[in-house]
Amino acid sequence: MLVLISNSFLIYDMTGSGLWLAALGASLAIPQFIFAGVGGVLADRLPRRVMLVSGSVIGAATMVILAALSFADLLEPWHIVAAGVSFGAALGNDWSARQAFIANLVHRSQLVRAVSFDQTSFHISRVTAPLMGGVLLASTGSEGTFTLGAVSFLIAALLLMTLNPRQDIEEHSPPVWEGISEAIQKLRSDSVVSVVIVFTAVNALFLGGFIYLAPVFATDVLNGGSIEQGT
């Protein structure tokens, strides 16, 4: 959310164009969609901790590049859109691997509570990060925001490296095509899973995209800035 707040506000502040906001949204959503599916397949075949660490490192490297461009006063809208592709890929990979990784950290009897705790912390961050990001962007500019983002990603990578999970790769993973076929058959045969997938898709389609309009309302309707957007 810190990345979304800073990047969406900056790109609208630079261009005043809703089309650039749409481009930013697409640059995040398309690779996130692709890599979420790929990440789910890879999470059964590669060490999940390595996948999560690599995602954090990619995020940190992207933030470092944006921070360097900001300090040099060279930041352009297309830089932010290009960074969105990197963030989208990292987020898609992280989402699948992180959900699967929980099963390697706790006993099966604690799995439901662990997932609940993970989701609670995620949604707390969704509330606090925009507020923090808006204030940070207003007080330190893009340079400080991107620098803090890079440091946060690096800390996350270091913390992940300290974890000592139980078995981190499935012993008998089917070939990729069989795994995809099995998932499709599950969707066709299990109405509950199908309804959940459809609900998630509709929610993302009709509600998730509105967040990219926040800079327009914060700037043009409320006559404010990044703090109003974060709020």
- Taking residues 193-218, what's their average pLDDT? 79
* Lowest-confidence region among 142-151, 171-180, 193-202: 171-180
- Taking residues 54-79, what's their average pLDDT? 91
- When computed from its CA atoms, the radius of gyration of the chain, rounded to whole angstroms, is 19
11-27 pLDDT, tens digit per residue, is 998 998 888 988 998 88
Q: Is the pLDDT of residue 166 over 70?
A: no
Per-residue tokens: 103: 């099963």
Dist. CA 95–CA 39, nearest whole Å: 8
Q: Are 89 and 42 in contact (CB under 8 A)?
A: no
Q: Are 33 and 205 in contact (CB under 8 A)?
A: no
CATH number at residue 159: 1.20.1250.20
Q: Is the pLDDT of residue 56 over 90?
A: no
Q: Residue 124: which domain range?
A: 2-230
Q: Are 103 and 30 in contact (CB under 8 A)?
A: no
The overall pTM is greater than 0.85: no
pLDDT confidence band for 173 (50 / 70 / 90): low
Structural domains of the chain, count: 1
